[in-house]
Amino acid sequence: MKELTLPEQTIQRIGMKLYSLSNLEPRIDMHTKVSLQDYPKENLISLPPEALARFGRGSVSATAVSPDGNMIAVASRIGVWLYNAHTEDLIRLIAIEDTGLLSKVTFSPDGTKIVTGDWDGIVSLWDIATGAELATFTNTDYVTSVAFSPNGKLLSTATRDGKATLWEIDTGLKRWTISHKDLVSSVVFSPDGLLLATGSWDSTANFWDVETGKNRRCFTHQKEEVNISFDSGHVETFNHRGINCIAFSPNGQCFATGDRVADNGYTTLWDVESGVALWDFTHVKSATSITFSTDNRYMATRFSGGDTDVRCITDGTSATYQEGKWDIDKKKAPSIHPRGLYGWLVSFSPDGKHLAALNQGASLKIWDVKSGTNIKTINQDLIDAKDLTFSPDGRWVGVSRTSKKATFWKEQEQHIDFPHEDIISTAVSPDIQFVATGGRKKKVYLWDRVTQKLLNTLSGHTGPIIHLAFSSDSKHLVSTGGREFEIQRLENGVEIMITQDDCHIDQTARVWNLKTGFEIVTLNHSSSVKHVAFSPKNTYLATTNGQEVYLWDTKMWQKKVTFETVEVESFVFSPDDSLLAVGGSWQEQKIQIWNVKTAQLVVEFSGHKSDVEDLAFSPDGTLLASGGFDGVIYLWDMRPYINS
């Protein structure tokens, strides 16, 4: 595990939802053929080589509205989708060929070009009419903000490593670079183009001379440093505050700064000429953007969650939002674009006619495979989803979760509470009769879904339980251990996880007989096991340490084959146990198809921009669905490789 900051409520109690799909009227047809001629255009444009179709348009990272208000640009993780702002009709997809996930997008002042920034520090200039890439500007880290100068000749970029750079667009030359002590959250030019303003999480905002790069003024917000101490003695220091957004008034006389803190943060209006604070106000949510009315009379501050606060510029008193007096600032992406930090979980219905997909944190969608039509959408906050399972009759989809309650959807909702709160891993049995949970207590808990009772507690692991998987007949369960870690919770709800290099690592996968509760075998590895799966016929068990995939014979529990693959994020067996599909992690986000008997690589697919988070074969093995962290699902034709 890497040292990182986790979202709030990362480790919670297990949950499950069961969604009714009875109106789909499933009929068994194990040879559904895919005809793409009737698929919507957006499912077929700019596809990777050998991909049949795309579902989803990628998670939204940023949006922008053209200067004339007629076009919306949506930066997704696969490219920029351009829409008619009034009808939401698709105009163009500017697909990104490289692997960088987009983080920012903005229009040029004349509305003929857009500029994009990505996670890898690459900033690109695009012609809207042709979709051609005109120029590239390379930065040193994740791009957090981009801005054109008013005359469209200069470009400013900001990055996570605290730098802001000014570029000459025509020559591609770097004019200058300045540094903050923390992430630069925003860059914006003054209306006359003579100053560049930067806002940073180091709690300062600065004016820089566009010609020379010299600092002309500094505005300071209050800092609030927090020290987090762990049991191991390690200490981390964080600035709890910081400037999240900045803006100039249209006449250039005022400058505003908004706090990123979510509790008792504040937004301040400054006089540009003197640098004096005119007024400020406090708020309980993080400020995400600031907009001035075109007549320079009002200022609107938007917050996380969508709330808006409007103030009179003269004295800071509250005012009523008045339509028609504002620059174009409604930057809402079409609803088809999910806003999620995670990718798709995928599962085919037993008859192969439908594909269920769960975008964690957004919605559960059901697509008709033959037509590409989205026939059902269930909007739920499922950011804690771990697994997606179709019931054997195809009428229900079960979603296992790490939330406080388990909810089973059938004719009515049924809520279940589980007593332990340290859940890391969870799995639902293929027959949707059992739920298994595991966590930091190093135990596996087996629950009966119908009676809501604990059936068994399985002990033996020496580390936290990081992955669980049932056999296809629901008779066996495999669990894997991992590296021990510490958790500390900040006052704002954010949880910090940290691991030490010398901490204990459970390097085993353990197979359990669910009827008796006895451990059948312990499979030792050279490092922690990151993923496991039984083959559909229960002939094999696949395990991986992330670098290699091991195939175990389930009769003698002997290691049969070792596949040296891409960095493993996911894998799945074909229905007849003959093929193993492996999905890679960034920067090896390929899909490899291996012949199980010969241990030979059959074919390799490329197209996802980041981790291939989930894979699923259709019941007849002719299709492979891949769900990516880039927010899209691809369908791949497996018919040429079934008998390879």
Q: Identify whether the C-beta of residue 245 lies closer than 8 Å to the C-beta of residue 185.
A: yes
Q: What secondary structure, in 3-state letters, does 350-380 show?
A: CCCCEEEEEECCCEEEEEECCCCCEEEEEEC
Distance CA 373, CA 40 (A): 8
Residue 379 CB neighbours (<10 A):
11
Sign of CA dihedral 119, 123, 129, 130: negative
Distance CA 384, CA 360 (A): 7
Q: Which domains does the chain have, with CATH numbers?
A: 4-24+343-638 (2.130.10.10), 60-138 (2.40.10.480)
Whole-angstrom Cα Rg for the chain? 26
Q: Please report the pLDDT score of residue 113 as a whole number.
A: 97
Q: Identify whether the C-beta of residue 328 lies closer than 8 Å to the C-beta of residue 111.
A: no
Q: Tokens at residue 10, please?
A: 């990362």
- Select the more confidently predicted residue: 560 or 15: 560
Chain mean pLDDT for the chain: 84
Of all residues in the chain, the percent with pLDDT exceeding 90 is 57
Distance CA 56, CA 72 (A): 18
Q: Which range has the worst mean pLDDT, 403-407, 465-469, 580-584, 613-617?
A: 403-407
Q: Please report the pLDDT score of residue 353 as a whole number.
A: 92
Distance CA 50, CA 432 (A): 34
Q: What is the mean pLDDT of residues 352-358?
A: 88
Distance CA 580, CA 574 (A): 6
Q: Which range has the worst mean pLDDT, 103-117, 294-308, 414-428, 515-529?
A: 414-428
Distance CA 343, CA 641 (A): 27
Q: Please report the pLDDT score of residue 297 as a whole number.
A: 92
DSSP 166-207: EEETTT--EEEEEE-SS-EEEEEE-TTSSEEEEEETTSEEEE
Q: Please report the pLDDT score of residue 241 as a whole number.
A: 82
Beta bridge mates, 200: 184
**Digit-coded pLDDT (tens) for 187-213:** 999 999 999 999 999 999 999 999 999
Strand order of the β-sheet with 548-553 is 531-534, 540-544, 548-553, 559-564
Q: Please report the pLDDT score of residue 38 as a whole number.
A: 73
Q: Which residues contact 355 (CB under 8 A, 6 or more apart)?
A: 55, 346, 347, 348, 349, 366, 367, 369, 616, 625, 633, 635
The pLDDT of residue 611 is above 70: yes
Q: Please report the pLDDT score of residue 534 as a whole number.
A: 97
Distance CA 84, CA 74 (A): 11
Cα distance from N-terminal residue to C-terminal residue, the chain: 37
- Listed residue (581, 576, 569) closest to 544, CA to CA: 569
Phi-psi region of 68 (alpha: psi -120 to 50; beta: other; left: phi over 0): alpha
**Digit-coded pLDDT (tens) for 71-80:** 999 998 889 9
Confidence of residue 399 (pLDDT cuts 50, 70, 90): low
Confidence of residue 180 (pLDDT cuts 50, 70, 90): very high
Q: What secondary structure, in 3-state letters, does 122-167 show?
A: EEEEEECCCCCEEEEEECCCCEEEEEECCCCCEEEEEECCCEEEEE
- The position carrying tokens 């938007």 is 302
- Listed residue (64, 147, 60) closest to 330, CA to CA: 64
Element (H, E) at 423: strand 423-428
**Digit-coded pLDDT (tens) for 2-48:** 333 323 333 233 344 444 444 444 333 334 445 555 788 888 888 99
Beta bridge mates, 374: 367
- Select the more confidently predicted residue: 196 or 224: 196
Distance CA 450, CA 11 (A): 25
Instruction: State the burial class of residue 519 (Cβ atoms within 10 Å of its Cβ: 0-12, 13-18, 19+).
Output: middle
Q: What is the mean pLDDT of residues 478-487?
A: 82
Amino acid at 395: R
Q: Please report the pLDDT score of residue 586 as a whole number.
A: 86
**Digit-coded pLDDT (tens) for 417-443:** 566 656 788 888 888 788 888 888 899
- Select the more confidently predicted residue: 428 or 470: 470
DSSP 201-252: TTSEEEEEETTT--EEEEEEPPP-EEEEE-TTS-EEEEES--EEEEEE-TTS
Of all residues in the chain, the percent with pLDDT exceeding 70 is 79
The pLDDT of residue 58 is above 90: no
Q: Please report the pLDDT score of residue 450 as a whole number.
A: 77
Residues recorded for the chain? 644
Q: Identify whether the C-beta of residue 123 lies closer than 8 Å to the C-beta of residue 174.
A: no
Q: Which range has the worst mean pLDDT, 227-231, 248-252, 490-494, 520-524?
A: 490-494
Q: Please report the pLDDT score of residue 525 as a whole number.
A: 93
Distance CA 260, CA 185 (A): 10
Q: Identify whether the C-beta of residue 360 lies closer than 8 Å to the C-beta of residue 383.
A: yes
Q: Which residues contact 616 (CB under 8 A, 6 or more apart)?
A: 346, 347, 348, 355, 572, 624, 625
- Listed residue (175, 107, 178) closest to 137, CA to CA: 175
The pLDDT of residue 170 is above 90: yes
**Digit-coded pLDDT (tens) for 492-531:** 555 555 565 667 899 999 999 999 999 999 999 999 899 9
The pLDDT of residue 563 is above 70: yes
Distance CA 321, CA 297 (A): 11
- Phi/psi for 121 (5° steps) reads 95, 5
Q: What is the DSSP letter of 388?
A: E
Q: Tokens at residue 202, please?
A: 């180091």
Q: Which range has the worst mean pLDDT, 31-35, 121-125, 188-192, 342-346?
A: 31-35
Q: Which residues contact 219 (CB under 8 A, 6 or more apart)?
A: 204, 205, 206, 255, 257, 268, 270, 275
- Listed residue (505, 512, 518, 517) closest to 534, CA to CA: 512
Q: Which residues contact 200 (CB under 8 A, 6 or more apart)?
A: 162, 180, 181, 182, 183, 184, 185, 242, 243
Q: Please report the pLDDT score of residue 344 as a whole number.
A: 83
Q: Which residues contact 556 (CB under 8 A, 6 or more apart)?
A: none
Q: Please report the pLDDT score of residue 392 as a whole number.
A: 76
Q: Please report the pLDDT score of residue 401 as a whole number.
A: 56
